[in-house]
Amino acid sequence: MSLQRMRHLGVLALFLFLSLIWGQTANGDDGRPTCRRCDLHHACNCSYSGFTRVPMVTDQALSLDLSFNNITMVTQDDLMGHSRLTLLDLHANGLAEIHPSAFDSLWSLEELDLSDNQLTVLNPKWFNKLELLQHLNLLNNPYSFLGSPSLFLGLSELRRLMFGGPDLKELRREDLSGVTHLDELTVHANNLDRYDSGTFGDIWPLGRVTLSLHGPFLTNPALAAAVLNDVCYPETRLTLSDLHLAHYVSVQPFKDSINMIRYLSLRNVSLSDEACVSMLALLDGVPLSSLSIVGLTLTGEGRWVTANRTDLRSMDEFFASDVTILDILKFAMVSELQYLLQYQKKLSIINAKLFLLSCYLTKMMVNTLYLDVSDNLLTDLTLTYMLCDSEETLQELRVLNISGNLLKSLSTLSRLVTKLTKLTQLDISRTSYNSMPSSCSWPSTLRYLNISRAKLTFVTPCLPKSLQVLDLSFNDLKEFVLTMPILRELHLSGNKFLRLPAGGPYPNLQTLTIQSNTLNAFSLSDLQSYRRLENLEAGHNKFVCSCEFITFLHSQLTGSGDVKITDKHQTYVCDSPLYLQGEAVSQVNLSIIQCQPVLFVSVSCGVALLLGILVAGLLWRCHAFWFLKMTWAWLKAKRSSQRRRRHRNTEGTDPLLSFDAFVSYSEQDASWVENFLVPEMEEPSDSDSENPTSPLTLCLHKRDFLPGHWIMDNIMSAIERSRRTVFVLSENFVQSDWCRYELDFSHFWLFEAGGDTAILILLEPLSKDDVPKRFCKLRKLMSSTTYLEWPQEEERRPEFWRSLRNALRGDDEQEN
C-alpha cells in the first residue's frame, strides 16, 4: 500500500512539474502570455490570437502585429525593452486605456496603428519619445477632439497621418501643430461641427489627401469649403468619399477651391441631376486634368442639357467605375453626353452596365489614346456600332480594353479593329469566344493581345504575327503550334497542356508562363529549344517525379540553369508516384537505388564480385578452403568412427586401443621404418638382461589398413585406435599426398586428444618453416615440444630408441 502511495505521489509531482514548465512557457513571470510567432526577419505576427494583454515577445523583434485581439489596456511595462521595434499594430483590439509612458522605450518606432479601438481621449504623452515616427493611424476611435496641447509636437518625421471617426466633432488650429509636411493625410470627419480655418493650411507639401465629409457637405457647406481651401494645391491628389450631392448647395464647397484642383477622385458618391449640372458648371474651363469616380450612383435621369457647353479640354483622364443608375429606363442616352467625353486622352467606363456607345461620340474622340469599356454589356452588334463599322474612328487609339463583355465573334472584332492603325494593345479577355477563324486581319501595329479566360479550344493562324505579348491563359487549349517570330511573352496558364510547346517557332521568346496545366514534366532539351528564354513559371502542374525530372528541376530551382524559375518553388509539387504525392519537388531526394537501378545492380555485383575475389584470395591465403575440406572429411570420418565404436560396444569385440602408435611416413622413407623402426619397437629387446623391454605394437598402413575401406576411414581408424601418432618427418614426408592426409587428420585429432599424442621424428634436419603453414598446431608443437632427431652416429642410436620407447609407453612405463 505504501509503495502504491509513493507511486501516486511521484506521478503527482511530475504533473505539477510539467504544469509549472508549461506555465512558464505560456506565461511570463507576471502572468503575461507569450507569443513566439516570429520569423527569421524578427517580424512577430501575433494577430487573431485572443490575447487580452500585450504578450511577451523576443526583445529582438522589429515588427509586432497585435491586431484583432482583445487587448483593452497597455501598461507602462508591457513594451519595455523593445527599443528595436519599428512597427507596432494594435488595430481592432477594443483598446480603451494606454499608460502615458507605455511607448517611451520605443525609440526606433516608425509605424504605429491604434485604429478601430475605444480610445476616447488621446494623450500627447504617448508620442513624446517617438521622434522617428513616420506613420500614425488613429482612425475610428470614439474621441471627439484631438486634444491640447497638440499630439504631434516633436513628430518631425511624420509623413503619413490618419485620424478621425464618427465621433470627431471639432478641429482647432493648434491641433496639428508640429505637422509640417505629409505624403498622405486621411481624415474621417463625417460629423464635424467645428473647423478652424487654417488648421490644415500650414501643412506643405501635401502629397495625397483623403477626406470623408458627408455631414458638412450636406448641412454645413461653409465648413466643408474651409477644409477644402486648406488642402487643395495643384500638386495634391484629393480624394473625397461618402458624399451625397443632392442639390445645388451641396456642390458649393468646391466653388473657391476647384481652380486649385488638378487630380480629383470621388469614392462612394451619389449624384442628382441638379448637383451634376452644378458640378459641371464649376468644372467649366478649370485646369482639372484627372477625374476619377468609383462607386457612383446617379439618382436622376441624365438631363444635363443645360451643361452641354461645359469646357473640359484640360481633362486628360476620366475614370468611372461601378456606376449605378437608379432609373435606367428614363436615363438619357450616353450619346447625348458627348461633350463630357470627347476630349479625354484616357477614358475608362468600367462596370457601368454600358450596352452602347455611339459612333457619333467615338468619332469625336479624336484625342483618345486609351479606351477601357470593360465589364459592361457590349455585344458584337453594339461594338460594331460603337466602332462605326467600316468608317474611320479612334484613329489615335493605342490601347483598347473591351474585356468582360458579351462578345462572341472573333472575326467581327478583328475586322473592326483593323482600321485602328495605331492600336498596340488589345484586351478581349473574359469574353465568350469559343472558336477562332482560320485567318484574320489585324492592325500591323498590334503588339499585345489578351484573350485569357475565354472559351477557346484551339488556335489558328488568325493570331497576328506582329505580337510581342500574347495571353491565352485559362482557356481549354491542349496545344499551341504557331510561328510568331517576335513574340517575347507567352502566357498559357490554366489550360490543358501535357507538355511545353516546342520553342522553335518562337526564337525571341523570353518569358513563358504555363502554370495550372497538366504537365507531367519538362526537361533541359525542352528549354533549350527556346533560344532566348529567360523566365519560366510552370508551377501547379501534375508532375511525375521521376529521377531525371527531380535532378533537372533541382538544378533549375537553384539558379544553375540559363532559365530562371520565377514563381514560388512550393508550387512545384509531385502528383505521382503515389508515395510522393503532395511533396514539393524541391524537398524530394530519391536514392540511387530508385534512380539508377541498373547501374546500382551492376556496381553492386561488381563490388560483390571484387569482394568475393578478395575474400576468396584471403581464404586461400589463410588455407580456409583446406580447413573446410578437412573439417568435412573429419566430420565424415568421425561419424564412421562413432558407428564403429557403437558397434564395438554392442558386440564387446575389437577394443578401441589396438596399437601403441600409428606411424605416418613417406613411401620413400619406408626402408627406414621397416628396417630400423619396426624391428626395434616390435621385437623384444635383450640389450639389458636385468630389465628386458616388452615389444610395442605399431600400426603401418601397408599391413594394418583394412582392404576395401575408404582410405580416410582407415587413417581415422588407425589414429583413433593408436595411443600415439609417430610422424617420421623428412622432405619426402612434406611432399607426400598421403602423408599430408595423415597429417591433416592427426592435426584434427591433436585438437581433440591433446598435444601429447603426437611424437615427431626428424630423419633429416627439418625446421618448422618446412611444414605447411596450414598445420598451425603441428608447427606450434615443433616450437614447443621436444622432437627426436635420428642420429647418424651409431653410438647415439641406443639412446634414441630408448627415448622413443619411453615416449610411446608414457610416464608410467618408462625405461630406467
Specify the pLDDT at position 30. 61
| Residue carrying the nine cell digits 488621446 | 122
Q: Is the pLDDT of residue 445 over 90?
A: yes
Asked if the peptide bond before residue 205 counts as cis, ω within 30 degrees of 0, the response is yes
Specify the pLDDT at position 645. 63
Specify the pLDDT at position 785. 64
- Structural domain including 788 reads 660-809
Specify the pLDDT at position 601. 84
Q: Is the pLDDT of residue 258 over 90?
A: yes
Specify the pLDDT at position 19. 37
Closest by CA to 479, choosing from 463, 458, 460, is 458
Specify the pLDDT at position 20. 33
Specify the pLDDT at position 781. 65
- The dihedral sign for the CA sequence 545, 550, 556, 557: positive
Q: What is the mean pLDDT of residues 526-542?
A: 94
Query: How many Å apart are CA 156 and CA 210, to the nearest integer?
Result: 21
Average pLDDT, the chain: 86
Query: How many Å apart are CA 351 and CA 648, to the nearest integer?
Result: 118
Where is pLDDT greater, at 126 or 615? 126
Written as nine digits, the cell of 695 is 615389444
- Bridge-partner residues for 698, per DSSP? 661
Q: Does residue 224 sit in helix, strand or coil?
A: helix
Q: Is the pLDDT of residue 23 over 50?
A: no
Q: Is the pLDDT of residue 720 over 90?
A: no
Where is pLDDT greater, at 142 or 332? 142
CATH number at residue 684: 3.40.50.10140
Q: How many domains does the chain have?
A: 1
Q: Could you tell me if residue 515 is inside a domain?
A: no
Specify the pLDDT at position 26. 47
Q: Could you tell me if residue 251 is inside a domain?
A: no
Query: How many Å apart are CA 59 and CA 71, to the nearest integer?
Result: 20
Specify the pLDDT at position 794. 85
Ranking 73-87, 411-425, 516-530, 655-669 by mean pLDDT, the lowest is 655-669
Phi, psi of 286, rounded to the nearest 5 degrees: -75, 155
Query: How many Å apart are CA 30 and CA 32, to the nearest integer?
Result: 6
Query: How many Å apart are CA 155 and CA 203, to the nearest integer?
Result: 13
Written as nine digits, the cell of 72 is 483593452
Query: How many Å apart are CA 404 and CA 816, to the nearest integer?
Result: 131
CA distances 413 to 373, 400, 406, Å, are: 15, 12, 12
Q: Could you tell me if residue 723 is inside a domain?
A: yes
Q: What is the mean pLDDT of residues 576-596?
A: 87
Query: How many Å apart are CA 104 and CA 77, to the nearest integer?
Result: 10
Q: Give the percent of the chain with pLDDT over 90.
A: 59
Q: Could you tell me if residue 66 is inside a domain?
A: no
Query: How many Å apart are CA 296 and CA 795, to the nearest integer?
Result: 144
pLDDT in tens, 542-575: 999 999 999 899 888 887 778 999 999 899 999 9
| One-letter amino acid for residue 556 of the chain | Q
690 by Cβ neighbours in 10 Å (0-12 / 13-18 / 19+) ranks as: exposed
Written as nine digits, the cell of 326 is 437608379
Query: How many Å apart are CA 179 and CA 153, to the nearest integer?
Result: 7
Q: What is the mean pLDDT of residues 589-599?
A: 80
Q: What is the mean pLDDT of residues 45-49?
A: 96
Q: Give the percent of the chain with pLDDT over 70.
A: 85
Ranking 56-65, 521-530, 800-809 by mean pLDDT, the lowest is 800-809
Query: How many Å apart are CA 420 and CA 418, to the nearest integer?
Result: 5
Cα dihedral: 146, 150, 155, 158 (round 10): 40
Q: Could you tell me if residue 674 is inside a domain?
A: yes
Q: Is the pLDDT of residue 22 over 50?
A: no
Q: Which residues neighbour 549 within 8 Å (Cβ) at sequence distance 6 or greater? A: 521, 522, 523, 543, 585
Q: Is the pLDDT of residue 12 over 50?
A: no
Q: Is the pLDDT of residue 47 over 90?
A: yes
| One-letter amino acid for residue 320 of the chain | A
pLDDT-derived band of residue 148, with 50, 70 and 90 as boundaries? confident
pLDDT in tens, 313-361: 999 999 999 999 998 888 876 555 677 788 899 999 999 998 888 888 8
Segments in 624-689 forming alpha helices (H):
624-651, 670-672, 678-682
Query: How many Å apart are CA 534 and CA 234, to the nearest integer?
Result: 43
Neighbours of 578 (CB within 10 A): 8
Asked if 666 contacts 739 with a C-beta cutoff of 8 angstroms, the reply is yes
Query: How many Å apart are CA 415 and CA 389, to the nearest integer?
Result: 9
Q: What is the mean pLDDT of residues 715-725?
A: 79
Q: What is the mean pLDDT of residues 31-47?
A: 92
pLDDT-derived band of residue 592, with 50, 70 and 90 as boundaries? confident
pLDDT in tens, 174-227: 999 999 999 999 999 999 999 999 999 999 999 999 999 999 999 999 999 999
